[in-house]
Amino acid sequence: MRLYGYGWIDRALSSLEVSQLVTYYAQASSSETITELIEPAQEDDIELMVVPSQRVAKMTKKKYLDDFFDRGILQLGTYDFFRNAGNIEVRDDQEGFVTLVGRGVDSTAWGRFMCGGDNYLFCTYLGDPDPAVLNAFEYDSCYFINDSRGFANAVQIALDAQNYSFGKCVYCEENAIIGGLKPEHSFERIDHRTVEMIGEAMNFVKPMRYSHQLEFRFVWKMPAYVRGTLVVECPNAVQFCSMT
């Protein structure tokens, strides 16, 4: 975890003040002039661990589809990988960067962080993939995850991950989110737990320019920092998926 700014005040900030704060951090990290106030995503709008009513599709290439159904081969990504990916549809240089605002009854804490370096990610599409999106990713095939919880659990076992989460990404102008300040948050120290001022929802916020991707994201938390991609063999995950 890296911290690029942190503060707190012993009152609840107004919605206008929160937008001003988020816009300040966005401007500080951007080379372009921001002319309008930015509203953060709401933690309550991110439905973690909720199995969606729509189908969950994994877009891929035909050869990788065959590898998965034959041997359970999956490629997982990291924030480091997505920040540096070659394909502009895949690359998001803001992955892992987030402005957090934790608002309590009589106090507010906030900060700009680079976090999630210990996460493996698996990005999918909610619904039947749009052919234009499929083409932009340079994919030619897809398969469907019929049991999100069963799939995530199988991969967790294969990775020996600490835990997992999944959910539909929420899109806003800036990777920023406001939520309820955790009661255990400490104002007396700044350390690796400061980023935990709100919950896991911080991993499911994306810039609005990617909203056409309709991402449904799986996240596995590892015991140490991870980079690049990981090819993992997980035949037990195949039973939770289908080609149609």
Write out pLDDT tens, residues 109-150. 999 999 999 999 999 999 999 999 999 999 999 999 999 999
Give the pair of three-digit tokens for residue 101. 């605002």
Do the Cβ atoms of 187 and 197 come closer than 8 Å? no
Give the pair of three-digit tokens for residue 235. 């035949």
**pLDDT of amino acid 217:** 98
**pLDDT of amino acid 149:** 98
Cα gap 52→226, rounded to integer Å: 28
Give the pair of three-digit tokens for residue 165. 């989460």
**pLDDT of amino acid 82:** 97
Chunk the chain into consecutive blocks of 10 residues (it has 244) and report each block's average pLDDT, rounded to whole numbers. 91 95 93 93 96 97 97 98 96 95 92 95 98 97 98 98 98 94 82 82 95 98 97 98 96
Cα gap 104→23, rounded to integer Å: 21
**pLDDT of amino acid 127:** 97
